[in-house]
Chain A
Amino acid sequence: MNLGIFTAILLFCIFSYFFGQTTAKKLVTNQNLKLKTLPTYYGYFVALWCGIPSLILFAVWSLFEPTIIKTIVVGKVLSASQIEAGLTTNLIYQKILSYSAGNFTGDLTDTIKIGALAYAKITSLAYKAKLASILSLASIGFIYAFNKVSKNNNARNDVENILKWLLFSSSVIAILTTLGIIFSLLFESIKFFSSINIFDFLFGTNWSPQKAFVRDASAITAEEYLEIKDAFGSVPLFAGTAFIALIAMCVAVPIGLFSGIYLAEYASYKSRRTIKPIIEILAGIPTVVYGFFAALTVGPFFREFGESLGLNVSSESALAAGLVMGIMIIPYVSSLSDDVINAVPQSLREGSYAVGATKSETIKKVVFPAALPGIIGSILLAVSRAIGETMIVVMAAGLAANLTINPLESTTTVTTQIVMLLVGDQEFDSPKTQSAFALGLTLFLVTLVLNYIALRVVKKYREKYD
């Protein structure tokens, strides 16, 4: 159905392009006017006026149509007051939809039949209204543009103005995405913080959201309420995240930094050209592959190795997850620090050599301090990546929230918990689901601050030597 409307709009546009072009050409032959610009621009002008408003209407309508139809149908069914006990409106609506699509199995009730009738009526009405309004909007645009063309306006300037707006709105999508993220996270988080105190969430040390699985939110006893209140302390999650990220950085920073220094200062041009892409392969490998590697190879290896030493190592130890995450992050540190070191002006090095310093002394005492802001920026970016990393910890770290600093035990992280809370069927109205969004919001804010600082530091550094 939508595809049909879309094709209709496109055909209309193509038609109006040729129509505009020929109209402009006719102006030359019939009225002996001198065109202000090439005939194709007149064609584009009409086509754009015809296509853009109707496509915008089409998109907006299609986005809101399902929600509006749902509200109307559910309203009809509710006003017939035939809601069955134990069924939510969402479930009934799902049944109505599958009955209308013709693949319904199960008990057929009157509610569903009435709903399906209403659904069929409203959809066909909506389709007609959509088609009519879009076509009339396209025609209005067409007539407006055609009038302008027959007056021989400067179509090129108009087309370019429209295109400029199009370019601008494409770049605004970045802002819209940010707004969308903030809106979706805030919306659920506010609901969450209305039932759980924000300080309990930020400073509580007990995380056990499975306790909060209450069927009916309105019928909570005071005792249950206290229990739920204590179930959402996020400190163990943030401690676990920071701990695993720390282990990862202990692996990635020395290896990455020394690799970067070696590549920038010691390696020949040729070996640099081959080694750098190979190390960057590590950055291109999907994180789920690292997770698989950590869970099936590294984790069991550490457990067996620990057992042979008489240590009790969990097969989901923080060490295994952190180590593999560190491997993943090596190229981020090495590539960025390589770039940063390369940007240090040659004159600084030469000054150092001139007073008799060796190469390593020059690097340690001159190049490294000069490059330090940039290197710190790249490490901050790497930390933000480690905190936000999901698949490795989901597959290799534990699920239970322990507050521990023993790398051989299992800990859990913020991202692991978000995934665990949201996998499978979710009810949107339970604090359990909402807590995932609250965790996401904190994660988003923390990484945002880290990225912002890192990007500013790197930018300042670049400006210094450019």
Chain B
Amino acid sequence: MTKDQRIKKRHRAEARFKLYGLVSIILALTFVGFLVFTIFSKGSDAFSKTTIKVNVSFNAEILSLPSNPSLEDIQDADYYDLALESINKLLLTSNPDDEKLLKKLFSPDFDLEIKNYLVKNPDLINQTQDINLTSSDDIDQLFKGNFPRDIPEDRRQVNDRQLEIFDELVAQDKIQKKFNNYFFTNGDSRDPELAGIGASLLGSFFSVVICLILSFPIAILASIYLEEFAPKNKITDFIEININNLAAVPSIVYGLLGLGILLGFMNFPRSTPLVAGITLALMTLPRIIIPCRASLKAVPPSIREGALAVGASKFQSVFHHVVPLSLPGTLSGTIIGLAQALGETAPLILIGMVAFVVDIPGSPIDPASSLPAQVYLWSESAERGFVEKTSATIMILLTFLIVMNFIAVYLRQKFEKKWN
């Protein structure tokens, strides 16, 4: 091998090596892109729902309402017959079999929707009105085009006659796509068209707020102690090692801690944001302390010495000068820690936050779910409607996380002082 050949060979090796690096980066970026793309392409459908326009005449006789009914009368009335009668008008000929099939095109709560409409507009009694009623999940998927029509009838949820009715309604322009308000306001449900993230959104909110209240002050105080006051001795070393190890303990172990001590030993109520918040706070604490200490360390000693030189006590120099200067870093570390807590699932499963919660929780001691736990729960259901809802929940969760991380980065870049 001549010298030239050797150099060429070495340069080829150089190019190959650089290519490996580039390929790995591109692979990593592709993974990010692919993940986000699959979630968003599946989930975007969940923000709209399919409705069927029904002409409802609010006949006071069918509802057996007295003349001049009060709001209570309207709320107590039975709307089922009225609702059935109204939707049956969609059919041109009356046929009991068809009526049964027709009913299945609507969500099981269709009479409730009519009731809620009347409660909101009580002066509609004895008048007729076009109302958009939520359709069942099968029709929803059919209308969104996620439902193959050419497979044999017995493997379909919607049979041929229902398809005929559906096509007729589409031709009459009675079927429309509307914004899915249920997705944000409802609790969990067995029917995908009625299921929403209301309960889990509030549950997550309560848990994260409790986590913030507990972990933020303790983390700041602990990092101030370790960074500014702690003497260099065995106890301090031990605390430091402890914190570093706790930050790397698997999150499921914190779930076992919550289950064993908070639920088993102290008898806290199960499935509540209170327990979730405490567990998450214990988990988040070391993860906040580490960035807090880093940002305290970044404040140069000249600041402390300047304060001490004009007669401030150690405490005054720390609390009046060092802590305010380190605040941007501290806050951004806290927000990132909270974002992690928001996305955490495993510990919540162990303390019973994966529950079927229909009612929206009113306080931190009501049973609730949380956004990631809702993702886990729905991901186990096979219906296409739930797959869509799961992806949409992930979209909401990711949006929150992106916003939180953005705020953290902004705080740091905008307010943090560069000392050198």
The closest CB in chain B to the CB of A164 belongs to B229
The 9 closest A-B pairs by CB, nearest first: A388-B250, A262-B21, A286-B343, A184-B260, A167-B225, A360-B17, A170-B221, A390-B346, A258-B24
The closest CB in chain B to the CB of A388 belongs to B250
Interface size class of A (residues with CB under 8 A): 35 or more
Given contacts A170-B221, A266-B18, whether A289 and B39 have CB atoms under 8 Å apart is yes
| Contact B260 A437, beta carbon cutoff 8 Å | yes
| Contact B245 A255, beta carbon cutoff 8 Å | no
B170 CB-CB contact with A under 8 Å: no
Contact mask for chain B residues 10-52; partner A; CB cutoff 8 A; 1 contact, 0 none = 1101101110111111011101100100110000000000000
Contact of B32 among A66, A183, A279 (CB under 8 A): A279
A415 CA to B376 CA in the complex, in Å? 15
Given contacts A171-B222, A184-B261, A418-B256, whether A289 and B394 have CB atoms under 8 Å apart is yes
Contact of A423 among B23, B224, B225, B349 (CB under 8 A): B349
A70 CA to B267 CA in the complex, in Å? 10
Contact of A174 among B20, B32, B222, B229 (CB under 8 A): B222
Given contacts A160-B315, A289-B394, whether A387 and B35 have CB atoms under 8 Å apart is no
| Contact B252 A278, beta carbon cutoff 8 Å | no
Distance from B257 Cβ to chain A, minimum over Cβ atoms (Å): 5
| Contact B256 A167, beta carbon cutoff 8 Å | no
Given contacts A178-B246, A440-B253, whether A419 and B398 have CB atoms under 8 Å apart is no
Interface hub of B11, B260, B314, B342 (most chain A Cβ within 10 A): B260
| Contact A360 B32, beta carbon cutoff 8 Å | no
The closest CB in chain A to the CB of B391 belongs to A292
Given contacts A167-B221, A285-B35, whether A279 and B344 have CB atoms under 8 Å apart is no
A336 CB-CB contact with B under 8 Å: no
Interface hub of A258, A289, A388, A395 (most chain B Cβ within 10 A): A289
Contact of A66 among B23, B252, B260, B267 (CB under 8 A): B267
B285 CB-CB contact with A under 8 Å: yes
| Contact B245 A282, beta carbon cutoff 8 Å | no
Given contacts A415-B252, A451-B248, whether A288 and B375 have CB atoms under 8 Å apart is yes
Contact of B379 among A177, A292, A361 (CB under 8 A): A292
Contact of A275 among B29, B242, B261, B343 (CB under 8 A): B29
Distance from B229 Cβ to chain A, minimum over Cβ atoms (Å): 6
| Contact A175 B239, beta carbon cutoff 8 Å | yes
B289 CB-CB contact with A under 8 Å: yes
Contact mask for chain B residues 387-407; partner A; CB cutoff 8 A; 1 contact, 0 none = 100110010011001000100
| Contact B285 A174, beta carbon cutoff 8 Å | yes
Interface segment, one of A126-134, A192-200, A293-301: A293-301
A392 CA to B1 CA in the complex, in Å? 52
The closest CB in chain A to the CB of B238 belongs to A175
Given contacts A167-B224, A286-B344, A448-B245, whether A261 and B349 have CB atoms under 8 Å apart is no
A437 CA to B244 CA in the complex, in Å? 23
Distance from A150 Cβ to chain B, minimum over Cβ atoms (Å): 23
Interface hub of B315, B390, B391 (most chain A Cβ within 10 A): B315
Distance from A276 Cβ to chain B, minimum over Cβ atoms (Å): 10
| Contact A327 B390, beta carbon cutoff 8 Å | no
B128 CB-CB contact with A under 8 Å: no
The closest CB in chain B to the CB of A171 belongs to B222
B226 CB-CB contact with A under 8 Å: yes
Distance from B316 Cβ to chain A, minimum over Cβ atoms (Å): 9
Contacts of A104 in B (CB 8 A): none
| Contact A174 B250, beta carbon cutoff 8 Å | no
Scan residues 234-279 of chain B and give those whose CB is less than 8 A from a CB of chain A: 238-239, 241-246, 248-254, 256-257, 259-261, 264-267
Contact mask for chain A residues 117-135; partner B; CB cutoff 8 A; 1 contact, 0 none = 0000000000000000000
Question: Would you give 14 A-B contacts (Cβ < 8 Å), ordered by A?
Answer: A167-B224, A170-B221, A174-B239, A184-B259, A185-B256, A288-B379, A289-B35, A291-B379, A293-B38, A297-B38, A381-B248, A390-B250, A391-B346, A394-B349
| Contact A180 B11, beta carbon cutoff 8 Å | no
A63 CB-CB contact with B under 8 Å: yes
A219 CA to B97 CA in the complex, in Å? 57
A172 CA to B238 CA in the complex, in Å? 10
Contact of A156 among B39, B217, B289, B313 (CB under 8 A): B313
B345 CB-CB contact with A under 8 Å: yes
Contact of A183 among B17, B245, B261 (CB under 8 A): B261
A334 CA to B256 CA in the complex, in Å? 31
A359 CA to B14 CA in the complex, in Å? 7
B198 CB-CB contact with A under 8 Å: no
Contact of B264 among A164, A286, A428, A444 (CB under 8 A): A428
Contacts of B87 in A (CB 8 A): none
A177 CA to B28 CA in the complex, in Å? 36
A56 CB-CB contact with B under 8 Å: no
Scan residues 145-203 of chain A and give those whose CB is less than 8 A from a CB of chain B: 156, 160, 163-164, 166-168, 170-175, 177-178, 180-181, 183-185, 187-188
A430 CB-CB contact with B under 8 Å: no
Scan residues 374-432 of chain A and give those whose CB is less than 8 A from a CB of chain B: 381, 384-385, 387-391, 394-395, 415, 418-419, 422-423, 428
The closest CB in chain A to the CB of B220 belongs to A170
Scan residues 364-420 of chain B and give those whose CB is less than 8 A from a CB of chain A: 372, 375-376, 379, 387, 390-391, 394, 397-398, 401, 405
B124 CB-CB contact with A under 8 Å: no
- Extra contacts, 7 of them, besides A164-B225, A174-B246 (Cβ < 8 A), are A66-B266, A67-B265, A171-B225, A289-B39, A292-B394, A359-B18, A415-B346
The closest CB in chain A to the CB of B394 belongs to A289
A396 CA to B238 CA in the complex, in Å? 38
Contact of B253 among A175, A290, A293, A388 (CB under 8 A): A388
A263 CA to B282 CA in the complex, in Å? 35
Contact of A448 among B17, B24, B249, B398 (CB under 8 A): B249
A15 CB-CB contact with B under 8 Å: no
B114 CB-CB contact with A under 8 Å: no
A364 CA to B20 CA in the complex, in Å? 13
A140 CB-CB contact with B under 8 Å: no
| Contact B252 A418, beta carbon cutoff 8 Å | yes
| Contact A288 B345, beta carbon cutoff 8 Å | yes
A337 CA to B287 CA in the complex, in Å? 20
B350 CB-CB contact with A under 8 Å: yes
Scan residues 105-159 of chain B and give those whose CB is less than 8 A from a CB of chain A: none
Contacts of A423 in B (CB 8 A): 349-350, 354
A100 CB-CB contact with B under 8 Å: no
Interface hub of B217, B313, B379 (most chain A Cβ within 10 A): B379
A419 CA to B224 CA in the complex, in Å? 37
Distance from A47 Cβ to chain B, minimum over Cβ atoms (Å): 16
B333 CB-CB contact with A under 8 Å: no
B286 CB-CB contact with A under 8 Å: yes
B327 CB-CB contact with A under 8 Å: no
| Contact B17 A363, beta carbon cutoff 8 Å | yes
| Contact A395 B38, beta carbon cutoff 8 Å | no
A278 CA to B32 CA in the complex, in Å? 8
Contacts of B251 in A (CB 8 A): 388, 390
A358 CB-CB contact with B under 8 Å: yes
Contacts of B350 in A (CB 8 A): 418-419, 422-423
Contacts of B25 in A (CB 8 A): 258-259, 262-263, 275, 279
| Contact A67 B29, beta carbon cutoff 8 Å | no
| Contact B21 A163, beta carbon cutoff 8 Å | no
Distance from A249 Cβ to chain B, minimum over Cβ atoms (Å): 15
Contacts of B20 in A (CB 8 A): 258
A422 CA to B29 CA in the complex, in Å? 37
A436 CB-CB contact with B under 8 Å: yes
